[in-house]
Amino acid sequence: MLFAWPANAPAPAPQRQTTRSPHGELAIPCENCHTATAWRPIKAVPEFDHNKTKYPLRGMHEKVECTQCHVKPVFTDVGKNCQDCHTDVHQKKMGTNCAQCHTVQGWNIAVQQVKDHQNRFPLLGAHAAVQCEDCHKGAAVGQFQGLSTACVSCHLKDYQQTQTMGGSVPNHVAAQFPQTCESCHTFDSWMGASVNHAAPPINFPLTNGHASVPCASCHVGGNYNLQIAATDCGHAGCHLTTWQQTTNPQHSAAPTVFPIATCSNCHNTVSWLTASFDHATTGFPLANSHQMAPAGKVNACTDCHINNNYNLQIQPTDCANSQCHLNTNYGGGWQGTNDPVHSSAGTAFAAANCANCHNTVSFLTATFDHATTGWPLLGSHQMAPAGKVNACTDCHINNNYTFTS
């Protein structure tokens, strides 16, 4: 019987123990980050280009340690949104889009970086230069929503400080100015405020000379509650002194003709010196020579209104009885006539009847209708050269104008 002894089989080779990476699938060699000494700490500057990932490192993110973001070994488990890493100090009041205010350069921001501020309160003028915390007290944890957009909510102190500023700044509190600052001020500066003087409740448009007058010149003693009309010049106390000091004519001597309450009937807001008086409103229009020089022959109102008498009750035809042309003071008076001598010529040449022959152009252009006497001048009776009469006295000898035939 044959026995076959089995041959000695070689021992199986020892198997290498494999280690699963705690980082999951990571397509870079371990030594890019780790050293041969130990797993930790890793290299100060790992050989890993984060910019080739789906989340490039920019700004402050370039300076943080890997483990500050990758708190778990599996690197792909990190979110990409700000709130995945950063605590929301605004308590979710500002939404999740941190980038609408902040950048990767740092949390601190300038107001120019705020992209969504135009929705409710546009940052215009000086508002564009202030820092967020100037309005949103408490910096990052301050109130960023629900703030009033009314000026006084931030500028009440400025409003109250006008009580002590003095100068050209009116005391807003004493004057009871409304706290709607934007009615007068702009967003650029407190200075250079403008008041719509023509709008209610003021209703006093500032035109011409009034436009350049300092507020305090009219609002004496800080009185900004004047209840006056734009035409109530004298009674307002603004031009009372001016009215009292007038001399040409002297207004105070004729208050019924030049009442203090009706300055605007003659004057405008350009200048006191450009006054115009419509004499026709008195029933006596100034025509021809009665006009002021150089259009006429009158040099001043007092040429007719002697002794400042502006209460004359006369008609345009009442020349001599008004004493304007009774004597020789005004270009040929009734008493000084000699061709014929009016004062002795009877009713036809009465002082009250100047207008029957004369006009307002000149006394020398008089025309007398002889036919009204019942004796029309015809043929040779006409004045030369049409007839043979050289002067009225050719017939009216010794100034006798009372012929009855």
User: Which residues, in sequence order, are CB contacts of 364 under 8 Å at separation 6+?
Assistant: 332
pLDDT for the residue 1? 44
What are the structure tokens assigned to 392, written together? 């009225």
Based on the fold, state whether residues 90 and 123 are members of the same structural domain: yes
pLDDT at 49 over 80: yes
- Would you call 389 helix, strand, or coil by DSSP? strand
pLDDT for the residue 264? 85
pLDDT at 4 over 70: no
Task: Count structural domains, the chain.
Answer: 3
Q: Is residue 68 one of the residues assigned to a domain?
A: yes
The model's pTM is: 0.53
Element (H, E) at 28: none
Separation in Å, CA 311 to CA 202, 282, 295, 352: 37, 10, 25, 19
Domain endpoint, select from 121, 141, 161 = 141
**How many residues comprise the chain?**
405
Q: What backbone torsions phi and psi does residue 106 show, to the nearest 5 degrees?
A: 155, 165
Q: Is residue 304 one of the residues assigned to a domain?
A: no
Largest Cα span, the chain: 210
Chain-centroid distance, C-alpha 265: 26
- Percentage of residues in the chain having pLDDT higher than 90: 17
State pLDDT tens for residues 232-245: 887 666 888 889 99
User: Which residues, in sequence order, are CB contacts of 6 under 8 Å at separation 6+?
Assistant: none
CB 35 within 8 A of CB 43: yes
Q: Is residue 391 one of the residues assigned to a domain?
A: no
Domain endpoint, select from 160, 192, 222 = 222
State pLDDT tens for residues 113-157: 776 677 788 888 999 888 888 888 765 566 677 788 999 999 999
Greater model confidence, 222 or 197: 197
Residue 172, number of CB atoms within 10 A of its CB: 20
Task: Tell me the H-state helices in 64-148.
Answer: 66-69, 82-85, 132-135
Q: Is residue 312 one of the residues assigned to a domain?
A: no
pLDDT for the residue 224? 86
pLDDT for the residue 381? 95
Domain endpoint, select from 195, 222, 249 = 222
Q: How confident is the model at residue 10 (pLDDT cuts 50, 70, 90)?
A: low
Based on the fold, state whether residues 166 and 203 are members of the same structural domain: yes
* DSSP letters spanning 34-86: --SS-SSS--SS-S--GGGSSS---GGGGGS-HHHH--SS-GGG---SHHHHS
Instruction: Please state the rounded mean pLDDT for residues 181-206.
Output: 89
Based on the fold, state whether residues 165 and 213 are members of the same structural domain: yes
Angle CA(193)–CA(196)–CA(201) in degrees, nearest 5? 125
Q: Is residue 11 one of the residues assigned to a domain?
A: no
Residue 363, number of CB atoms within 10 A of its CB: 19
Q: Is residue 136 one of the residues assigned to a domain?
A: yes
User: Which residues, in sequence order, are CB contacts of 247 under 8 Å at separation 6+?
Assistant: none
User: Which residues, in sequence order, are CB contacts of 5 under 8 Å at separation 6+?
Assistant: none
pLDDT at 341 over 60: yes
Q: How confident is the model at residue 61 (pLDDT cuts 50, 70, 90)?
A: very high
d(CA 116, CA 109): 14
Based on the fold, state whether residues 166 and 216 are members of the same structural domain: yes
Q: Is residue 345 one of the residues assigned to a domain?
A: no
Based on the fold, state whether residues 110 and 167 are members of the same structural domain: no
Q: Is residue 168 one of the residues assigned to a domain?
A: yes
pLDDT at 19 over 80: no
Domain that holds residue 159: 152-222
Mind spelling out the 3-state secondary structure of 288-346?
HHHCECCCCCECCHHHCCHHHCCCCCCCCCCCCCCCCCCCCCCCCCHHHCCCCCHHHCC
pLDDT at 2 over 50: no
